[in-house]
Amino acid sequence: MRIVSGKFKGKPIVFLKSITTRPLKDSVRENIFNVLAHSNLLDINLKKSNVLDLYSGVGSFGFECISRGADKITFVEKSKNALQILNKNIINLSLQNQTNVVVDKIENFLNKGLSEKFEIIFLDPPFAEDCYIEVLKLIRKIKIYKKNHIIIIHRDKKSKDDLNEIINPIVIKKYGRSKIIFGKFLN
């Protein structure tokens, strides 16, 4: 697994070999960033953005963001195995000053009275779980996103996700087993 583009292009990302985690494939990551950069339907600038990476695993999405010009990434992960590799990747890429690692359940993190706001919020929950819908509702309630924001959700392409009361899905793309939903929170 490698960083696809930007200042860290080609740098390796250590990943976790486990039946409970699935890394975000390089090709899917590349397609996500192509949509962000080239879709006329999305109005988001990755450069200088503040990114929230939920269910972050080993951090491949966040590292790709920093490589392409994002200012800061907040990773939220509770798996001890994934956290060890995430921290190893941060050290290998010398990104200690641009990253914040939160070791907690996402709901606990969100309920701490956050004042920080994000332009990009990425969710990559386990495919078998739909608890991320409650996470989306909580994010919308506490409004930790800027006016100009994008929500990106990685799901199994066969998943039946009813998000219309929470977000406005703008672009939905399928790549192999993955479905990527790009949207904005409803006001």
In a domain, 16, yes or no: no
pTM greater than 0.75: yes
> Please, what's the largest Cα pairwise distance for the chain?
41
Q: DSSP label at 12?
A: B
**pLDDT for residue 182:** 95
In a domain, 17, yes or no: no
pLDDT band at 24 (very low <50, low <70, confident <90, very high): confident
Yes or no: say if 124 and 24 are a contact pair by the CB < 8 Å rule.
yes
Structural domain total, the chain: 1
Helix (H) or strand (E) holding 58: none
Chain-centroid distance, C-alpha 72: 12
pLDDT over threshold 90, residue 186: no
**pLDDT for residue 20:** 54
Sign of the torsion angle spanned by Cα atoms 164, 45, 31, 67: negative
Q: DSSP label at 5?
A: S
Q: Which domain holds residue 139?
A: 26-185
